[in-house]
Structure 1
């Protein structure tokens, strides 16, 4: 299976080809062999049976030749799906424009303050969300048993901070005077908001929240529609 960093490099290669005008023109500008770029794009196999990829040397050469900053090839560029009016489609499986970073529960509480201009770092875990979500969406790993039996410890949940938090949705919430966000079901009744733990054995399953809580996002996917 192709790793996410390799997908990012291949996607960015397609962006550079579009920017240069063609694969041949790109190869000429960066001083590399156009036939190798073609082999990389077609994922031709080496003698060892592995797909040809974009190694560090080629990545650096592409960055220098196209006047990109160091590390550009390893960064997800969500706003560059169109260059000069041409749609780029690298046919790499799930659309990587929907890749979401896996972040911590502490980061989730302040995500909207740091999301603008955020660029995933090389090696950071990124996961493709198969449903429609905003570019500011993120992924959390469920901790604990408060949301069993629907959500288990270690489950991955995709969270969209721009989705509408309506009654019955599962939300990530930052409560005042706490260090990190929490995850519960939102209950709205008669103008009041409550957070509900799904686990029937959980103490204080339902708590009322008012101005002391801030919703940080709505869960949109967890391997199934939620």
Structure 2
């Protein structure tokens, strides 16, 4: 039960960060440490090795700061896919197409588009999570909205183009001593963290996550 609540709180934290505009903006509104908020979001363990979780007190502070009802952080929030005009909203792309999106953005008129409940940039695109490498934070089937115009920072969840085949992959970015690493959210993943190749290009930063109900 605890892990289930932790997962929901992390997803809702992502919503609040997108709503506030950034981690630092949310931290200021809630009068909490931005560094601690980033560590909670990234799942950075304490020096003792124990996992860093979002406690009830922090959850309540975030709810109050963002005008959410008590207990909001503990509840799955529905993903609204409409209404939206057929020619507006970020397009739903394949993982192969996402790898070339920053270079070629023309799509057929029939391309499926989704409505993002929060403000997002004009070049934002949508991907559907496939596989278990980012579970339980991003389960298979969830939708992620990716903005190419948001700068990627240490701890950001990013979509990266693989140089070997041009397709995209989804991981958390870790930057240490000028080196870039890609980290899976799933602690049981065979390769939980790998160094990014020098020519691996960041296609965008995840700004929203949702699930069709």
Query: TM-score normalized by structure 1?
Result: 0.53
Answering whether residue 138 of structure 2 is matched by residue 151 of structure 1, we say: yes
Determine whether 1:121 maps to 2:121: no
RMSD (Å), alpha carbons: 2.2
Could you tell me which residue of structure 2 aligns to residue 223 of structure 1?
Answer: 210
Q: Unpaired segments of 5 or more residues in structure 2?
A: 1-81
2:93 corresponding residue in structure 1: 103
State how many pairs are aligned.
Answer: 130
2:173 & 2:207 partners in 1: Cα distance?
A: 14
Matches of 1:103 and 1:209, distance apart in 2: 23
Which residue does the alignment assign to 1:214?
A: 201
Query: What CA deviation, in whole Å up to 9, does each residue of 1:194-219 have, x standing for no partner?
Result: 10001011011111114231100100
- Measured after TM superposition, the shift of residue 135 of structure 1 is 1.1
1:130 deviates by 1.9
1:196-211, aligned counterparts within 5 Å?
196-211=183-198
C-alpha distance in 2, partners of 1:195/1:157? 17
Q: For the Cα contact (< 8 Å) 2:87–2:109, is it kept in 1? A: no
C-alpha distance after superposition, 1:163-205 (max 9, x if no partner): 1100111000012112411000001112111100010110111
Equivalence for 1:193: 180
CA contact (8 A) 1:195 1:206 kept: yes
**Pick aligned residue for 2:123 from 122, 131, 136:** 136
Aligned: 1:162 with 2:152: no
* TM-score normalised by structure 2 residue count: 0.56
| Deviation (angstroms), 1:111 | 0.4
Checking the alignment, whether the CA contact within 8 Å between 2:100 and 2:166 is kept in structure 1 is: no
Query: Which structure carries more relative contact order (alpha carbon 8 Å, separation 6+)?
Result: 2
For residues 57-103 of structure 1, the C-alpha deviation after alignment (integer angstroms, 9 at most, x for no partner) is xxxxxxxxxxxxxxxxxxxxxxxxxxxxxxxxxxx956888601101
Does structure 2 conserve the Cα–Cα contact (< 8 Å) formed by 1:98 and 1:135? no
Instruction: Report SS of the residue matched to 1:220.
Output: strand
Give the ranges of 4+ consecutive aligned residues of structure 1 lying more than 2 Å apart after TM superposition: 92-98
Q: Aligned partners of 1:95 and 1:221: how far apart in 2?
A: 20
Please list the CA deviations of residues 121-147 of structure 1 after superposition, one character each: whole Å capped at 9, or x if unmatched. 13x221011222221110001010000
Q: Which has the larger radius of gyration?
A: 1
